[in-house]
Copies of this chain bind each other. A is one copy, B any other.
Amino acid sequence: MAEAEAVPAVRELTYVRAINEAVRLVLAEQSTAFVAGEDVAGAGSVFGYYAGLLKEFGPERVFDTPISEEGIVGLGVGAAATGLRPVIDIMFMDFMGECMDEITNQMAKMRYMFGGAATLPITLLTMSGAGMNMAAQHSQSLEAWLCHLPGLKVVMPATPYDAKGLIIAAARDDNPVIVALNKMSLRFKGEVPEAAYEVPIGAANIVRRGENFTIVTYSRMVHEALQAAQELAELGVDAEVIDLRSLQPLDSETVLASVRKTHRAMVVHEAVRFGGLGGEIAAQIQEHAFDDLDAPVGRVGAPFSPVPFSPQLEKSYVPNAAKIVAEARRLLGA
């Protein structure tokens, strides 16, 4: 990271480096921020995105915790309520179940239960997604649980740019914000400004303009959707691709405006289709843009099983561009 002068104000960074830079800037700008989690300090996280931070900020601001997810989130809640701005790490999103009570009953509700007297500026980073043959307990996308909990914000960046900007926005937000990263995206590259900038929480991004089909998605599926859009273009379908970026709050307006233009829509996520956030979004679309719709809102998500280990099975399990295209064709009757 000591590449100071020579670097242009905007340069290509990987997703993992963008995360690293965001957290570094947060620690630099907020004297009450600290990073805590399993193997975040000595190892810089098993994904490497805290590399160098222990050295730069010292062991009171970047420290390893025991393998105690409930304790870790509790530490964050208690520290935040009493004036600090914790950045908490839960290594895999699959481990949410270990700390779901702290998240649900403390972090999300404390402010409300206290009549507004407590403020919980917590940023919780975690890692979602399949595709690395890590099997049923290290590949899940459980954001649907979190989006159902009033009091939390939830963001899922698809690009290095958004990863950095959303983490900074999360850390500056006075509410608990869950930042669910994606492990298959760690090596993705993209342009990232050097400065500390925010990607606003609650604002979707139209990553491809299109006229007659809307694909609403987030996290790694944005890239699959963009690829699908290209294939659809060859079929004469001009798809608009919306990267939600924030799931809670959800930028329904951007989604609805697009659907009102295109008259057809589909939601794509890596999470299990049944009960996933796609249901909420599809329900909102048909509710608010009923008369604009020329076809049902489609959904692509993982089928109804745990994530299988075997690479071939996993490949047929995880949503991808081909499945998006297939579902689009089905919807369009093409």
Contact = CB atoms under 8 A, between A and B. Distances in A.
Nearest to A267: B283
Interface in A59-106: 94-105
A298 B287 contact: yes
Interface in A23-56: none
Interface of A: 94-105, 108-109, 112-113, 135-137, 142, 144-145, 147-151, 248, 250, 271-272, 274-284, 286-288, 290, 293, 295-299, 304-306, 308-309
A148 B146 CA distance: 12
Please give the count of copies of this chain that the complex contains.
2
Given A97-B102, A100-B97, A150-B306, A283 B287 contact: no
Contacts of A278: 283
B280 A275 contact: yes
A306 B109 contact: yes
Given A94-B105, A150-B306, A290-B295, 19 more contacts: A97-B97, A97-B99, A97-B102, A97-B103, A97-B105, A108-B306, A109-B136, A112-B306, A112-B308, A142-B148, A144-B148, A145-B148, A147-B274, A147-B275, A148-B274, A150-B304, A279-B284, A282-B282, A290-B293
Nearest to A103: B97
